[in-house]
Amino acid sequence: MTIDIIDKEARNVPTLASIAERVGVSVNTVSRALRAPNTVRVELRRRINAAMEELNYVPNRLAGGLSGTRSDIVGVVVTSLYYSEFASIIDSLQSALLERDLQVMLANTRYNADQELRLVRSILSWRPAAVAIIGVDHPPKVVELLKASGIPIIEMWDTGGDVIDTAVGFDHTQVGAAQADHLIAQGYRRIAFLGSVRENDKRAQKRLSGLEAAAAAAGLPEITKHTAQQGGNPELGERLATELLEHHPEIDAIACNSDVVSFGVLRALKKLGKRVPEDIGVIAFGDNEAAGCVTPSLTTIRPDRERIGKLTAEAIVARINGSEPRITIVDWQLVVRESTQRSTL
């Protein structure tokens, strides 16, 4: 007994028992004072709160989660954190979850499938109330684990494929098609696709195939592709664009997989003496905050990341409360700026 007390003293982390002892009540009265205050006498409650305040008591949720019937962790699995691609989704998601006292446990796969399995397993080991994950294309084992967990699984960003449970996002194939359609409407005919397309970035692949299909449907010559596996940045865009035009001087439009890459494309075109949008049109995807500030300003597709985060939070709460799984489409927008405005000339 004495040893026990010394032990606790040494670790210096107050527990419900410390509070109870100090106030002279039982552990579970203190517990109730916390979770159901109105079941505890006012004066007693006040003394308990005072003791907690004084000892800097912080509940141990590991214990709470183990014992109780609720767990308020939400696992969030993204494929990237670079260049705000998903940062704003996480931002709005976590802030909406906060209102429900749900805590975000974050994992970043960096587009690595092995990592994804490992991270999903790790997240599930915390017995989250739900998991939100980027994309609908996961290794079979990941899908199996997520399904077996029995908790709501919300797939974000992409809805074009087999959904495990609930999804919030849009069909990336249509984005590619919209890029092609816009370029064609502006009179461009020899379209190239350029950018970073990582092996596990199925969304990028879908956008590309949407672009190809739409171009083919319009009777255009085959899309010239020039891609790289590495992450996207302006330097990559500059290099790829330079190489592309060297081998394919006939190109009159470039569809990019991300705004950041296209910034480099614009720089390359300027160096090559190509006029944008007159000689070559450029369209991208992402709506980076700088897209309207480069010269010429960039035509791009704007996904509503904030809304995806918010709706994902709502879907999580709804599913936890027992509503049915569903797929929510979040509209994106074509933002036409100077880089493709040939028609007004």
Instruction: Single out the residue of 154, 260, 313, 315 in contact with a copy of itself (rule: CB under 8 A).
Output: 260
Which residues make up the interface to DNA (CB under 7 A)? 4, 7-8, 11, 13, 15-17, 25-29, 31-32, 34-35, 38-41, 44, 59-60, 63-64, 66-70
Question: Is residue 72 near a copy of itself by the rule CB under 8 A?
Answer: yes
Of 163, 147, 154, which Cα lies nearest the Cα of 130? 154
Compute the distance between CA of residue 77 and CA of residue 325 in angstroms, rounded to an integer. Answer: 19
Select the binding partner of residue 294 from DNA, a copy of itself, none (C-beta < 5 to 8 A, by kind): a copy of itself
Buried b (16+ CB within 10 A) or exposed e, 93-112: bbebbeeeebbbeebbbebe
Question: Is residue 185 near a copy of itself by the rule CB under 8 A?
Answer: no
- How many residues bind a copy of itself (CB under 8 A)? The answer is 84
Q: Establish whether the linkage from the previous residue to 37 is cis, with ω within 30° of 0.
A: no
Select the binding partner of residue 15 from a copy of itself, DNA, none (C-beta < 5 to 8 A, by kind): DNA
Question: Beta strands 130-134 and 103-108: pairing type?
Answer: unpaired
Interface region with a copy of itself, contact rule CB under 8 A, candidates 66-74, 197-205, 220-228, 326-334: 66-74
Question: Is residue 333 near a copy of itself by the rule CB under 8 A?
Answer: no
* Minimum CB distance to a copy of itself, residue 292 (Å): 6
CA distances from 68 to 13, 64, 126, 278, 324 (A): 21, 6, 14, 65, 24
Question: Beta strands 253-256 and 281-285: pairing type?
Answer: parallel
Longest dimension (CA), the chain: 88
Nearer to a copy of itself, 95 or 224 (CB): 95
Nearer to DNA, 27 or 105 (CB): 27
Instruction: Give φ, ψ of 175 to 5 degrees.
Output: -65, -45
Cα end-to-end span (Å), the chain: 88
Instruction: Single out the residue of 1, 273, 331, 344 in contact with a copy of itself (rule: CB under 8 A).
Output: 1
* Minimum CB distance to a copy of itself, residue 342 (Å): 20
Question: 300 and 281 in contact (C-beta within 8 Å)?
Answer: no
Question: 78 and 110 in contact (C-beta within 8 Å)?
Answer: no
Question: 93 and 122 in contact (C-beta within 8 Å)?
Answer: no
Q: What token pair was written down for 160?
A: 């074009």
Question: Is residue 249 near a copy of itself by the rule CB under 8 A?
Answer: no
CA atoms in the 13 A half-sphere facing the CB of 344:
7
> What residues between 98 and 157 interact with a copy of itself by CB under 8 A?
98, 100-108, 110, 115, 119, 121-127, 129, 144-145, 148-152
Q: What token pair was written down for 195?
A: 């950018």
Select the binding partner of residue 39 from a copy of itself, DNA, none (C-beta < 5 to 8 A, by kind): DNA
Instruction: Single out the residue of 160, 169, 195, 234 in contact with a copy of itself (rule: CB under 8 A).
Output: 234
Question: Is residue 2 near a copy of itself by the rule CB under 8 A?
Answer: yes
Interface region with a copy of itself, contact rule CB under 8 A, candidates 153-161, 172-180, 208-216, 257-265: 257-265
Mapping DSSP onto H, E and C, the string for 127-141 reads CCCEEEEECCCCCHH
* Minimum CB distance to a copy of itself, residue 165 (Å): 11
> What residues between 14 and 53 interact with a copy of itself by CB under 8 A?
35
Of 225, 287, 290, which Cα lies nearest the Cα of 254? 225
Nearer to DNA, 54 or 162 (CB): 54
Question: Is residue 326 near a copy of itself by the rule CB under 8 A?
Answer: no
Nearer to a copy of itself, 2 or 344 (CB): 2
Distance of CA 261 to the CA centre of its chain: 19
Nearer to a copy of itself, 96 or 167 (CB): 96
